Structure 1
């Protein structure tokens, strides 16, 4: 049994995680601990506070008791707002506190895009424009070419959590660009897991979403590779990248 640990801010789309666990099957366990979200606002100062060492540390002890072998801070905006170096320090501090390998959703996007050999990506963000552009800057710092950024301008995770398949599909289509080898949909408050096959069929290219890449990153940290086609091209054995 491989136990994966996640620190998830608040309550929005956490039900994606048991769905992923079910689709992974095999001997993978997904353990999720909620952290205090503080102010629910896609605003830089609020997002930095959401991912502060104190807030993350508060959930670590509970996660340790689950027997988790690795921990991922399951929040995109609460990591990339610190910048590339700041996000690295956030993860290093989390690893020290938890006593295990650690990462965050922002780094998961970079690593997943590299796994898919997708150097040119388009971003469909729920966030306001200034926050969406910070994510694009983070991806560029990770060596990716961001060819398009679409922002939905949503201020709260609570509102994002109400979106269904129609809204997610519209976001992905609005974000797509002919030069993009993959479309990235950040925000772990967004329900995407059940929509992945339809999204990739619609766009004809890999779609990477926050909760999907977060779990994939935890598997990467534990040296596990699971073939689960219903979780998208990222979870199949062969990358589906157009040249």
Structure 2
């Protein structure tokens, strides 16, 4: 038998940093989500900011009823992110569900597990982004069905926007939405933007639209706000990160501004 070494406890204990990383962003995503985690790793995570992810149950098709069904899981999802430790921001990364459930209800559910943490939802972040540009008359592009797009239209009208045009693609499965090529989104965005629109909002955290936001802006000659881009921008600014990233679109060059 080989000789087993003695295991000893070090006589000195190293000092501990207050946190492994200075800032913490929580991210609650759908079990089926292919895009949000990757986008946040690219746009938010850094040597200073950590992104911590929890997935919650979700079943397609993407209907208002199924989206609303996620509400009971929000508190449990939030509680799984660094339990008993504070966060600097927490994002529920589903645009259509945030609209159907309601921003206030999403915030209340998350606050029950993470009290005092600023809550970001993609539609609320998009509203802040569009207002940062001073845009009031907008075009909207979604991958959803008409049934799921209707609450989105009502949401933006309710926040004081004039919708010049609203285009949806008719998809029912968020996994298929994630498979739409970013290059195709550039052409779709061009077709969906009304000549009188001051900005375009591309909805849905499943879409890889943040990758081509700057490219879409170049094609349109006007500002573009996408779900993941707006959420990332909001979370970065809440963490005190004012770094300018024009490669992710003009929004990533602006301060947060009022809600």
Per the normalisation by structure 1, the TM-score is: 0.87
Say which of 58, 61, 64 aligns to 1:41.
61
Residue aligning to 1:60: 78
Q: Does 1:2 align with 2:2?
A: no
8 A contact 2:122–2:227 mirrored in 1: yes
Residue aligning to 1:21: 44
Q: Which has the higher helix share?
A: 1
Q: How many residues align?
A: 231
**What whole-Å deviation, never above 9, does each CA across 1:104-150 have from its counterpart, x for those lacking one?**
11211111111111111100010001221210110111121111100
Task: Note the C-alpha offset of 1:223.
Answer: 4.9
Say which of 173, 192, 195 aligns to 1:178.
195
Q: CA RMSD in A?
A: 2.1
- Quick one: structure 1 residues 126 and 220, their matched pair in 2 at CA, closer, same or farther if it must change by over 3 Å? same
Say which of 105, 116, 122 aligns to 1:89.
105
- Quick one: structure 1 residues 92 and 225, their matched pair in 2 at CA, closer, same or farther if it must change by over 3 Å? farther
The SS at the match of 2:80 is helix
Q: Does 1:203 align with 2:223?
A: no
Per the normalisation by structure 2, the TM-score is: 0.82
Q: Does 1:12 align with 2:34?
A: yes
* Structure 1 unmatched runs, 5+: none
Query: Bigger relative contact order, structure 1 or 2, given CA contacts below 8 A and separation 6+?
Result: 1
Say which of 71, 77, 98 aligns to 2:96.
77
Task: Note the C-alpha offset of 1:224.
Answer: 4.1
* Structure 2 unmatched runs, 5+: 1-21
